[in-house]
Amino acid sequence: MLFENRQSSGGGHPANFELINKENGKVIEEFGTIIYYSDKTSDNYVLYLSSDSLDTLTLYNIDNRTKFHYSIPSGRLLKTVSASSRMYAELLFEEPKEENSILTLTYRYLVNSEPEKLDTDVITIDLQTTNKR
């Protein structure tokens, strides 16, 4: 069971998420703030930034409890969050698109010293690879 924990009501803070065993109530995995989760019966996964430096995107497959890591160019998101009005890196990501078991995730980042001039980049994930045990 994916549990959502809101830090404050109406405060604009993203929620924190934990995966909890619904049989015994024990925490299986703590994600913190997430980018996206899929609750489809065939693809159960969570996407989140798994490093304090914001350089690693992780896909956690809920069904087989495996993690897959994807690199983001060093400092790109941290610089964007620090220098622009975007307070949370997770909010730089658009809703992922899935087609033929390929997940496409677009995110925005700061191009130069102009705090509101953003460019986009894409991360592509083959969901068939992440579903293998």
CB 70 within 8 A of CB 78: no
d(CA 63, CA 133): 9
Instruction: Report pLDDT digits (tens) over 20-29.
Output: 888 898 988 8
pLDDT (0 to 100) of residue 9: 58
* Domain limits for position 125: 2-130
* Mean pLDDT of the 101-127 span: 88
The contacts found for 50-59 with CB under 8 angstroms, 24 or more apart, are 53/78, 54/78, 54/81, 54/89, 57/105, 57/123, 59/125, 59/130
8-state DSSP, 89? G
Say how many domains are in the chain: 1
Phi and psi at residue 34, to the nearest 5°: -115, 165
Instruction: Report pLDDT digits (tens) over 60-96.
Output: 998 888 999 999 999 999 988 888 777 789 989 999 9
CB 70 within 8 A of CB 80: no
Instruction: Report pLDDT digits (tens) over 29-59.
Output: 888 888 998 877 667 899 999 988 999 999 9
Instruction: Report the CATH number at residue 80.
Output: 2.40.128
Instruction: Give the pTM.
Output: 0.84
